[in-house]
Structure 1
Amino acid sequence: MDRNCLSAEAYDEKGKAPTTHLITLLDQVAYRFPDHDAIISHHQTDTLNATRPLHWSFAQLQQMSIQLAARLSSKGAQWALLFCASARLGCQFVPLDPRVLDRDDHDILSLLNQLEPAAMFVSTEAISNRIDQIKFCQKHRSLVQCVVADEETTMSAGWTTLTKIMSEPLNGTPILPGPGKLDDIALILFTSGTTALPKGCPHTSISIGAQALGLMDHLDVGPGANLCQHLPNFHVFNVTLTLAFWLAGATVSFPSPSFNTQSSVQLIRSYPGVSVPCVPAMVHALSNCVSPEHSSRLSFQMFLGGAPVTLDVVKRSRDLGATRVMVGYGMTEGIAILNTSIDTTSLDLINRDISVGKIFSGGRVRICALGSRTPIHKEEIGEVHLSGLPIATGDQGYMDGDGYLYLLGRYKDLIIRGGENISPLKIERCLGEVSEITEACVIGIPDATAGEVPVTVIRKDPSTQAPKQKTIQIMILNKLGASFAPARVLDLLEDLRKDTYPTTTSGKIQKAMLREWVIDHLNQVAVENPVSFNDLTSELTKFWSAITGLAVGDIDPDVSIRTFADSIMQIQFCHLIGQKLQLVIRQSDLIKFNTIQQQAKLLKERMQLHAKDSRCYDSAHGHPIQLDMERAKLVASSKLDPLGFRWDDIQEVIPISDYLYLAMHPSADWMRLQVIDGGTVEDVKCVATYKLNDPEYDYIDTNGPLFRATTLSVNNPSVVGLVMHLHHLMFDAHILSRWFEDLRDLLNHKEELLNFHPYRDYITDYHSHRTGAISQKAVDFHVDRIRGVSSATDALWPPQIAPHWLKGDNQGWVHSDNTPGCSSERPLLDRDKSCGTKGISRAVLVPKILELQYKFAITPPIIAKCAHVLLNVRMTGAKEAIFGVIKSGRTWPSADESQPDNKEMEILEVDGPTITHILNRTRITPEETVIQLLARITKDQDDVVSHIYAPINEICRKLDDSDKKSFIDIVHRQSFNWIMGGYKEHASDPIKRIEAIARPNLGLSWLPALLEGNMLRLTVLYDDAQLRASEVHNIITEFLCAVAWLSDPANMDKNVA
């Protein structure tokens, strides 16, 4: 299959750049339609007919702009007139948001000095007075300062009015410059600047003209059309639509100086079929202004854009009388380049997000992983990039199989709850379906347990009874999952005492300011209640509420916690118990005691048994490992001597299983081995390929160092490349994500960095655990599962066609008898197109996967594992599925059950790997139903978690030679590893991950993960000497089809066969 068919990238080849200057295009319209209305201003009176609003034809607009341009030209230098006049003079037209003047003088001065204006036009005398307070350098040029006012008013010195300018006589025939170059800057638009100084975005005659012409064709605008232009004149949405209508010879009507709902509704009533552009907040305002019985009298077309559009906004537009609703997308830097039309039929069919359409007007759009510029696959969520450069928008979205783009909100607005990205827009879309809620906005606030939690601020319909917080939380939980359920639901008026949300002039809600309002409110009402040991059930319910976001009253203490909490939440709960109650509960305890009532009873018993246990952190590891120091020195010297180091350079000796870890003093000599200056490379792409597959460099083994970093200078002063080599003996996926977070926080000069617990403490306890009762019990458990596996050869998959299991280049490998291997024995099947180390990823939408958790306590990892079981049986034809599983140790290792976990440590903060390899064996019974199989796999998973720390060498010692050999082969042949969380990149991060290459000695690695939007993604890494990419694509398809089928609650009672 063509990769371009799968990549989330689209390009419109039909759009062509204009070959004529913008002012020439507008003049051509005036010649074709001289008597057609170009402008109707309903808040102004026509000078020739006082009974009607001001009308200007295209000929008049052309003539007036020529006259204004001539008068401004003679001096050395209303919106439509100013724009046309600027274009005629070859000047740059810069419409500014009046809110800019609310900033301090230094910011305004900086902005004006950058622009170096030749003429300034303001709408009121008050604005002119504010500008007079700011002294900026005019560089000895004359400056036209004009107030655009309908009535004569007293002007301060240096200011005039537009009426006076236009009444001044001209000396002779004005000579104006001809149209400038097509690539001259004609327009500068500024971003909203709600969090920083506004950023100028220049546009040429080509860029603005191409978008306007493309929009004109795409919307099929003709001379008889009419646009109700009530958007701010400094907004890109306004500029593009106005030009599109003018270039079509259509009329642009202005209902009022600024947005006024009554004026807009009156204009809509006056012109049936008028086109009405709105941001979502304006739709809410119009909806509140028009009663249902009067909306049927309206008939218009609605253009939606400027902010994420929800289904509720589309429905409100329909209810207002919109016969056609169009949704568009663009940005100040790149103009509108996507658009779609939602008719009545498609509105009825919408069951997920609202699309902003397909690309047009010669534009390009792609979806990339955050921080990358390489397109990901369709249906996968990433950052939207626009146009050819491309511009990273900071918007989160995805592209469907037909090339339609869907937006999920701004990355900066994402809420990170317990490591999971929560899209506020998804919650807002759900709330938009509640008729009693007029408007809803979701923001994230800090939380000591989860990091951030979502809080919803609603504006309710005053004529109805607003739903209770419990009702809202349950609805969100059922549709999106427990982590999306808002921790609080606040009423804008009743709780925050505000009539309206804080917004920009263009109508976008300022979430940063709303967040401040919410935090201030919560601080005022917060009361720190002491923990009550007399009612542990209530206290534990509060803890689960804080972690999951569910209201206390919505949590049934007699129902399994699995119906509302995932494994990460369970780990957080265990740690919270240690922090708040100074008691210990393990994740394995939560399997046996899976209701809150049972957990309260367990903790009460432990509280009585260990009431006086004051074991401190330092004494928790008070059993130092006994080493044969002479032998340790001998072994260490064999590794250190070739590197030029001695025993005195060792900081700590840490025995791990049958390995001896040497932690070195961070001396300058040792750091030179670990951190290398790699010189200069051309660009970021060269960072990813730096010495790739170089046998002397691109390799790391157990001799150490186990970590090596190479810094690279890039021909860009703001970029530094970093290539890291890491051995799995010192990291797993979870700790690597924490390292990335730590590096990001260091570069951001964050005061509070992540907390890391020394790995030696974990290993010390694990070493004691290996010979304890718990360990022996776990070993026996796994030996019983493995015994006899050597006779199940029919269940082994994939087939081995080359010796050994490897990924990447074939250097240094040996046969099972320790004889050296050579690369010719393992030819790569796809040759130079091999991609096993980078892997292949695809995803499937599973909209009801979380419903299985709430109804049946079946979690997404179980569904993925079950799909893997079914796929293996399908591929082999055997009656059971046998494969390796990589599990992370999520509990603290203890020598026996009488020793509680170290309550001062959270296992997720250990600075090192906690993973272990186990073998999975699942038999398939044809008459078994889906829910029975899922429940059985869940029970098997619980048993494995309860026996997670089983030293693999101890297991092998209890197996006979044939089973031992088969066991080792299976865990290397195929491994399943559910990915939880991971490092979350953001557009503002100082680090960007370019590429990851994995080279573990595993034949086929399955890495499924549940992404936002209920997308289940599978990444497969594989041995290029055993499998081709085409084969991997096919098995991924089989897997995702199985996942989709298993995730549908309607299939639960169906037969597995």
Structure 2
Amino acid sequence: MSFTHLPWRRPQAFDDRPCVRDVRVDLSYREFGERVDAAAEQFAALGVGPGDVVATMLPNRVELLITVMAAWRLGAAATPINPSFTATEAGFQAGDSGATLVVTADTSMTLGDAALLDVEELASAPSGSLPPAETVPGDLALLVYTSGSTGRPKGVMLDHANLEAMVASMGAAIGIGADDHCLLVLPLFHVNAICVSFLTPLSVGARLSVLERFHPVEFLNAVETLRPTYFSAVPTIYSHLTALPAEVTPDVSSVRFAICGAAPAPPALLSAVEERFGFAMVEGYGLSEGTCASTCNPVHGIRKPGTVGPALPGQEVAVVGPDGEPVPAGERGEVVIRGANVMRGYLNRPEASAEALASGWLHTGDVGVLDEDGYLRIVDRIKDLIIRGGENLYPKEIENVLHGAPGIAEAAVIGGPDPVYGEVPIAFVSATPGGAVDVDAVLAHSRAHLTKVKLPVEIHVLDALPKNPVGKIDKPTLRRQLTAAGVQEA
């Protein structure tokens, strides 16, 4: 394994190339490596060593990346904590992960037994006291916590071999090269940002620019000014970009492609982005348990709208029936994944690990269909399935139709209780910026595209749909609101 994404394993030719920047600093590969060594020396003096865990609770900034690498330099693991978490939420992750040190901008927060280090006190000049790094493929590298929308978050254990496999897989899929420049806008407490936007470009000597937060106009200004060649984002970000007034016409000609992931995107949205901005849109699919991504439509090659593409290099993706056997092309079943990118398991959750990794495959809990060319279409989550009078309804199909209705920015469909049918589809929608939703028009549009049993029996218009920390629509919250009969229409 090459591990060229690690500063102490980088080719010497990378030294003077631009590496990472944000609004505060702009570092070459040599300078970034020196900052990593300095932080690692500081961590070692605070008692961090091989097998320990370092938590970083910061917004997107270069120091977060330095902290992660410094932990790895010492043979420790890193766990990124959402900086918007409360003390209770952050304390759970720090305690569950066994973190001995937390690097943060808020040292007033008590996080169990972990020591706190103010990010402003992070060392920047190394003394050269560190012994040579010994990076072992099987050593734990990342503890990425699931969103916890259905219970206590679980720590996904990813080792260095998982990360190396993901970097190689993604790099080959998107054709990353030394002249590429990634603009990072997704939160760095999520594995997508770490692997696709950070580690993959560093593995080939490419450049990374880090944005602390997303704002549509500011983001496009950054594209125009910094001239990135690619970025990765979620459907909500692309919805905001396409909703901008027509007179907003930035120069985005440097961008050769953009990736959409983390949540299903309506095909119409991807087409709208391509039509307006002119760069290729590739939708991918994956889980934190698979170290981020497992399929992606090709940057160069056949892209099939409505699919998330074929398996990435080095990975296997199959669709299986209830008996665990693969189903024929075109038939629905559970999506399972196999490859060196699949996690080693959940931290201190042996039963959950055994269930997720049964029969040597990662069981995703997603319903999908593989076509004859191996392109995957995600139908829905198994747990989101609505059974109406014995008939299976897939919310994603209904949501795709709702997204095509006038004035709809986002849509989510869940199953609501019904005394006759058991469950019926209920929709929650939000309007495009500055617009309004005409419920009668939405229902008329739905009737033109859906059979009667699939029509939402209620459409609730909200100012905004609830999101979990990684930007996915939070259906458990919608279900709780529905159960409490507390839905308020806008």
| Same fold? TM cut 0.5 | yes
Partner of 1:376: 327
Please state if 1:417 is matched with 2:388: yes
Q: For 1:28-87, what per-residue CA distance to the aligned partner results, in whole angstroms no more than 9, with x for missing partners?
A: 43512212211120x32xxxxxxxxx2111111111111211222233221111122112
Give the partner amino acid of 1:33. F
Query: Structure 1 345/452 Cα, relative in aligned 2: closer, same or farther at 3 Å?
Result: same
Partner of 1:68: 39
- Aligned with residue 480 of structure 2, among 516, 533, 536: 516
The total of aligned residue pairs comes to 451
CA RMSD of aligned residues (A): 2.6
Q: Are the aligned partners of 2:21 and 2:27 in contact in 1 as well (CA < 8 Å)? A: yes
SS in 1 for 2:309: strand
Moved over 6 A (4+): 342-345, 522-525
1:505 & 1:102 partners in 2: Cα distance? 15
Give the partner amino acid of 1:476. S
Partner of 1:118: 100
2:395 & 2:426 partners in 1: Cα distance? 9
Residue 346 of structure 1 deviates from its aligned partner by 5.5
Give the partner amino acid of 1:67. A
2:3 & 2:229 partners in 1: Cα distance? 28
Partner of 2:174: 219
Q: Are the aligned partners of 2:317 and 2:338 in contact in 1 as well (CA < 8 Å)? A: yes
Q: Are the aligned partners of 1:37 and 1:58 in contact in 2 as well (CA < 8 Å)? A: yes
Matches within 5 A, 1:385-424: 385-387=336-338, 389-424=360-395
Q: Are the aligned partners of 1:278 and 1:303 in contact in 2 as well (CA < 8 Å)? A: yes
Q: Are the aligned partners of 1:338 and 1:356 in contact in 2 as well (CA < 8 Å)? A: yes
Please state if 1:429 is matched with 2:385: no
1:513 & 1:449 partners in 2: Cα distance? 25
1:421 & 1:56 partners in 2: Cα distance? 54
Partner of 2:258: 302
Give the partner amino acid of 1:329. Y
- Aligned with residue 27 of structure 2, among 39, 53, 56: 56
Partner of 1:460: 431
Residue 178 of structure 1 deviates from its aligned partner by 2.3
Residue 362 of structure 1 deviates from its aligned partner by 1.1
Residue 386 of structure 1 deviates from its aligned partner by 1.0
More displaced stretch, 26-35 vs 68-77? 26-35
Matches within 5 A, 1:355-374: 355-370=307-322, 372-374=323-325
Query: Structure 1 435/29 Cα, relative in aligned 2: closer, same or farther at 3 Å?
Result: farther
SS in 2 for 1:393: strand
Query: Structure 1 254/325 Cα, relative in aligned 2: closer, same or farther at 3 Å?
Result: same
Q: Are the aligned partners of 1:88 and 1:176 in contact in 2 as well (CA < 8 Å)? A: no
Residue 231 of structure 1 deviates from its aligned partner by 0.7
Q: Are the aligned partners of 2:4 and 2:11 in contact in 1 as well (CA < 8 Å)? A: no
Residue 521 of structure 1 deviates from its aligned partner by 5.3
SS in 2 for 1:201: strand
2:479 & 2:147 partners in 1: Cα distance? 18
Residue 279 of structure 1 deviates from its aligned partner by 1.0
Partner of 1:32: 13
Matches within 5 A, 1:262-341: 262-272=217-227, 274-288=229-243, 290-295=244-249, 297-299=251-253, 300=255, 301-335=257-291, 336-341=293-298
Partner of 1:666: none
Q: For 1:1006-1027, what per-residue CA distance to the aligned partner results, in whole angstroms no more than 9, with x for missing partners?
A: xxxxxxxxxxxxxxxxxxxxxx
- Aligned with residue 80 of structure 2, among 65, 71, 95: 95
Please state if 1:191 is matched with 2:111: no
SS in 2 for 1:293: coil
Query: Structure 1 310/221 Cα, relative in aligned 2: closer, same or farther at 3 Å?
Result: same
Q: Structure 1: 5+ residue runs without aligned partners? A: 1-18, 45-53, 150-160, 493-498, 526-1057
Give the partner amino acid of 1:291. P
1:437 & 1:343 partners in 2: Cα distance? 31
Residue 315 of structure 1 deviates from its aligned partner by 2.3
2:337 & 2:148 partners in 1: Cα distance? 20
Q: Are the aligned partners of 1:211 and 1:361 in contact in 2 as well (CA < 8 Å)? A: no
Q: TM-score, normalised by structure 1?
A: 0.41
Q: Are the aligned partners of 2:221 and 2:250 in contact in 1 as well (CA < 8 Å)? A: no
Partner of 1:51: none
Q: For 1:1012-1044, what per-residue CA distance to the aligned partner results, in whole angstroms no more than 9, with x for missing partners?
A: xxxxxxxxxxxxxxxxxxxxxxxxxxxxxxxxx
Residue 185 of structure 1 deviates from its aligned partner by 1.0
SS in 1 for 2:472: coil
Query: Structure 1 244/343 Cα, relative in aligned 2: closer, same or farther at 3 Å?
Result: closer
Please state if 1:482 is matched with 2:452: yes
SS in 2 for 1:434: coil
Matches within 5 A, 1:718-757: none
Please state if 1:259 is matched with 2:229: no
1:487 & 1:383 partners in 2: Cα distance? 28
Give the partner amino acid of 2:419. A
1:518 & 1:237 partners in 2: Cα distance? 31
Q: Are the aligned partners of 2:144 and 2:157 in contact in 1 as well (CA < 8 Å)? A: yes
2:69 & 2:442 partners in 1: Cα distance? 51
Partner of 1:200: 155
1:327 & 1:97 partners in 2: Cα distance? 25
Q: Are the aligned partners of 1:295 and 1:320 in contact in 2 as well (CA < 8 Å)? A: no
Q: Are the aligned partners of 1:182 and 1:205 in contact in 2 as well (CA < 8 Å)? A: yes
Percentage of pairs with the same residue: 25
Residue 147 of structure 1 deviates from its aligned partner by 2.1
Residue 262 of structure 1 deviates from its aligned partner by 3.5
Give the partner amino acid of 2:101. A
Matches within 5 A, 1:560-575: none
Q: Hey, which of these two has a bigger chunk of strand by percent?
A: 2
1:344 & 1:20 partners in 2: Cα distance? 28
Query: Structure 1 102/405 Cα, relative in aligned 2: closer, same or farther at 3 Å?
Result: farther
2:288 & 2:487 partners in 1: Cα distance? 37
Q: Are the aligned partners of 1:70 and 1:176 in contact in 2 as well (CA < 8 Å)? A: no
Query: Structure 1 67/30 Cα, relative in aligned 2: closer, same or farther at 3 Å?
Result: farther
SS in 1 for 2:280: strand
Please state if 1:445 is matched with 2:416: yes
SS in 2 for 1:426: helix
Residue 355 of structure 1 deviates from its aligned partner by 0.9
Query: Structure 1 424/339 Cα, relative in aligned 2: closer, same or farther at 3 Å?
Result: same
Partner of 1:210: 165
Residue 517 of structure 1 deviates from its aligned partner by 3.2
Q: For 1:707-740, what per-residue CA distance to the aligned partner results, in whole angstroms no more than 9, with x for missing partners?
A: xxxxxxxxxxxxxxxxxxxxxxxxxxxxxxxxxx
Rg larger for? 1
Q: Are the aligned partners of 1:211 and 1:240 in contact in 2 as well (CA < 8 Å)? A: yes
Partner of 2:461: 491
1:218 & 1:82 partners in 2: Cα distance? 28
Q: Hey, which of these two has a bigger chunk of helix by percent?
A: 1
Please state if 1:248 is matched with 2:248: no
2:81 & 2:112 partners in 1: Cα distance? 18
Query: Structure 1 192/99 Cα, relative in aligned 2: closer, same or farther at 3 Å?
Result: farther
1:509 & 1:503 partners in 2: Cα distance? 4
Give the partner amino acid of 2:262. G
2:31 & 2:166 partners in 1: Cα distance? 25
Q: Are the aligned partners of 2:410 and 2:465 in contact in 1 as well (CA < 8 Å)? A: no
1:189 & 1:29 partners in 2: Cα distance? 25
2:408 & 2:170 partners in 1: Cα distance? 34
Partner of 1:84: 69
1:374 & 1:207 partners in 2: Cα distance? 26
Q: TM-score, normalised by structure 2?
A: 0.85
2:299 & 2:245 partners in 1: Cα distance? 23
Give the partner amino acid of 2:458. R
- Aligned with residue 472 of structure 1, among 442, 460, 471: 442
Matches within 5 A, 1:534-573: none
Q: Are the aligned partners of 1:33 and 1:249 in contact in 2 as well (CA < 8 Å)? A: yes
